[in-house]
Amino acid sequence: MTEIYSDNRITLLHNGDAYFPVLEEALDRAEHGIFLETYIFENDHTGRRIAEALRRAALRGVKTHLLIDGFGSSGLPKTMIDYLEEAGVMVLLYRPHISPWTLRRRRLRRLHRKIVVVDLRMAFVGGMNIIDDMEIPGQDSPRYDYAVSVEGPLVKEIYASSRRLWARAVWSHRLRLVWNRDHQRPDPPPESAGHMRSAFLVRDNFRHRRDIENAYLQAIDQAQSEIILANAYFLPGLDFRHALMAAAGRGVRVVLLLQGKIEYRLAHYASRALFGNFLDAGIEVYEYHQSILHAKVAVIDEHWATVGSSNLDPFSLLLALEANIVVDDRNFALALKDSLGQAIKAGARRISENNWRSQPIMLRLLCWLSYGLIRFMTGIAGYAPTSRPKTPGRQ
């Protein structure tokens, strides 16, 4: 059962301009230990900036751990890894050397979490990789994304999760001595840093396979007035879709802000296959066109909010390691709602039912073929979704 922690301070960080300066400052203040996990660590201006901060920390004696995904960060040159390790940064690749031609199911289980923990004093969780916001060919506007900084008792949960994953990675690399030397823990976090109630949720392939999805479903089922959901890759299963449509059916305003740019064609068209049913149910669907949407956030009834790494697609919900923060706080939720409202107003287009129905039949067929192909690929890999148990009163 997910533990809710009170007395936290959760700060919303929108895009890299807000996130990376705060992250760099926290790394420079580190005294004991750093854990940084990311799917992509790019050798660009932002990546080198954070790499230098990690080096500075290691050189002053901070135990600095960097865990990067072996596929997402496959482009990081060995010279960069060597440069970090020369300063004392411990670098591990999660599931490296996975051939794109292998048929092993494990190749699909990637490290997609974006977490930083500093001294058990502060943590960061969100959707942003270590990559420049403008690292998008042909785009003039920055990638649209969010993270949060966390202070207070919740930090110990995030720390424990990062420490466990690092230990698993160490054993998989057969580096027992590294882990045995690195057993000292920093001082515990302060008992109180604010007044916000929040929880840390993960998705893994062990005990927490559906924790993030179930948190969404519970909040959607309990929604009374409004659901605003922004997600970069949106292809949820039947339970999730039915929950959204049921909410709309009982009078809840449901707003979806989805990817408008074509980044991955198969995922883009598969997501659009769901639009017809959503529009029939009275759900508002917007596509973000100002830049690449990379956010994975939601606000419900102006008090429940989540920010994290988990998309609402088979990759995130069934395969990858993910991490989200859930916040039950009106001021935080209103700030996120206002930010999403500005994005919708300035950079999104609403999909009307009439316009959708007038789409060429070949385009609609392409969408359904893409949807079917993704579901087929998920099933043949042995990861077909299972429905959640029925609860009394739920049809």
pLDDT digits (tens, 9 = 90+) for 270-281: 999 999 999 999
Identify the residue whose tokens are 């924790």: 211
Q: What is the mean pLDDT of residues 352-375?
A: 87
Query: Which residues are within 8 A (CB) of 29 and not within 5 positions of it... i.e. 6 or more apart?
Result: 118, 119
Closest CA to 254 of 236, 231, 227, 229: 227
**21-47 mean pLDDT:** 98
Across 112-116, average pLDDT: 98
**Model confidence over 137-147: pLDDT tens digits?**
666 788 999 99
pLDDT tens digit sequence for 71-113? 999 999 999 999 999 999 999 999 886 655 554 556 668 999 9
Tell me the helix, strand and coil percentages in the chain, rounded to 5: 40, 25, 35
Answer yes or no: is pLDDT of 395 > 50: no
Neighbour-count burial for 93-123, b at 16+ CB within 10 Å, e otherwise? bbbeebeeeeeeeebbbbbbbbbbbbbbbbb
If pLDDT is split at 50, 70 and 90, which confidence band does 393 have? very low
**pLDDT bracket for residue 392 (50, 70, 90):** very low
Residue from 356, 251, 283, 308 nearest 126 by CA: 308
pLDDT at 377: 77
Residues noted as catalytic: 112, 114, 119, 294, 296, 301
The full set of domains in the chain, from first to last, is 5-181 (3.30.870.10), 200-380 (3.30.870.10)
pLDDT of residue 57: 99
Return the pLDDT at 390: 42
